[in-house]
Amino acid sequence: MTRRSFLESSTTGIGAMALASLFGSGSARAAGRKPHFDAKAKSVIFLNMNGAPSQLDLFDYKPKLKEMSGQKVPQSLIEGERFAFLSGQPSLLGTPFEFKRRGQSGAWISELLPHTANVADDLSFIYSMRTEQFNHVPAELMLFTGHFRPGRPSMGAWVTYGLGSESADLPGFVVLQSGRPGRCQTGCIGSGFLPTHYQGVTFRSGGDPVLSLSNPDGMSSDVRRASLDTLRELNQSKLESCGDPEIATRIASFEMAYKMQASVPELMDISKEPASVHKLYGTEPGKKSFSNNALLARRLVERGVRFVMLTHGEWDHHGGPRINLVQHFPQICREVDQGSAALIADLKQRGLLDSTLVIWGGEFGRTPMLQGSVNEPLLGRDHHRSYTLWLAGGGIKPGVHYGATDELGYKVAANPATAHDLQATVLHCLGMDHTRLTYRFQGRDYRITDVHGELIKPLVG
């Protein structure tokens, strides 16, 4: 008898344990896994502003940049730097928008985000985010998977692998999309080498909420149930003979889909929410919008979903007739401002903000230099490595302003923070040590922070 045939035939005792070790199956373990320490957050809502919003026109106010607007950027500042599109010695561009200090915390927030300004004291800002990836997909992958190449598990997959889900009839990781679709697609919500059970499931605002969830024409619920029971028996028999964890994942996926046929339509029907809630969010039942998705995010975490990702694009404001700071940028700010602020206020008044970590931001920032001509009315900015994020709730101290960029908003001047640092901090809020949340794959223990990542201690309560 060969070693492989011995393991395949031993479905209990030492054989089962060996198979679990070889295949790295996390399905059974995740259901019973506990946090490494007491957690403040139970769930995460990531508001992903795909395309990279301009921090200099929203949160990182630079009076010196405004004063020098139109002048050539000092050559010494950009010596040896590479940009996505800029070349030569471009001109500086001060923000064309007004800023004010908001709330008791005194956070600088642009006139473009009046609703966000109303919840300023609930937010904490990281002004010193820094990435080496200045193209969209590598930067998105770095933010959400910890690596700039595809194939690694996403943040939502790591979180649900680590903690499982508190919902019996909804996936642990749900994705909601509005605006222009992002470039990263499944790479930023996939499970990588983790069992596929942990990948993000996209819910749609129109038509069937989840593709292929409804019964085909002519198939009743009883027939579907009988078919699934038969399929489960066949899959279970194969699982017992070979021990492949993906078979267990498939069994669980079919059962979850059956449960979702009842739970998802009720979840997605926001028409029964009180008028006061619709007024708060600016929601319109049946419409595809960021505000509708923000309300759905609250409904999802109420039902025990562990990780919710809202993606809204496009924030890639290079200038020109289609995407510019003068026309399009204010519009996209209006699309997300009310929903983002309403989510914070709604979670807070329901007592859910303390247990829900909310994150708002994109994959990188925008340059303090103008992309285009100083005489061009449709202004734009190029990709940039320094950027700003805000966080709220779920173990984050409110009103913290962490890090800083220089007076022109070009380089990080204090307390640089990376995607790995953010990932370590998110996991900490959920009660997990990022160095201990690992998965063995191809003979190595992997983690989302790889060999990097430091907890951003001033942010956590």
Along the chain (461 residues), what's the average pLDDT of each consecutive run of 10 residues? 45 37 39 80 97 98 97 94 93 97 98 98 98 96 97 97 92 93 88 93 72 59 66 74 73 64 83 96 93 97 97 93 92 98 98 98 97 82 97 98 98 98 98 97 96 98 80
Residue 289 counted as domain residue: yes
How many structural domains are present in the chain? 1
User: Which pTM value belongs to this model?
Assistant: 0.87
Torsion sign over Cα 367, 369, 372, 374: positive
Residue 262 counted as domain residue: no
Residue 147 counted as domain residue: yes
Residue 439 counted as domain residue: yes
- pLDDT value for 21: 38
Residue 9 counted as domain residue: no
CA pair distance 147, 420, nearest whole angstrom: 9
Q: Are strands 307-313 and 201-203 parallel, antiparallel or unpaired?
A: unpaired
Phi-psi map region of 76: left, alpha, beta (phi>0 left; psi -120 to 50 alpha): alpha
Q: Which domain holds residue 42?
A: 22-214+273-459
Assign residue 83 the CATH number of its domain.
3.40.720
Residue 127 counted as domain residue: yes
Are 178 and 289 contacting, i.e. CB atoms less than 8 angstroms apart? yes
SS (H, E, C) 195-230: CHHHCCEEECCCCCCCCCCCCCCCCCHHHHHHHHHH
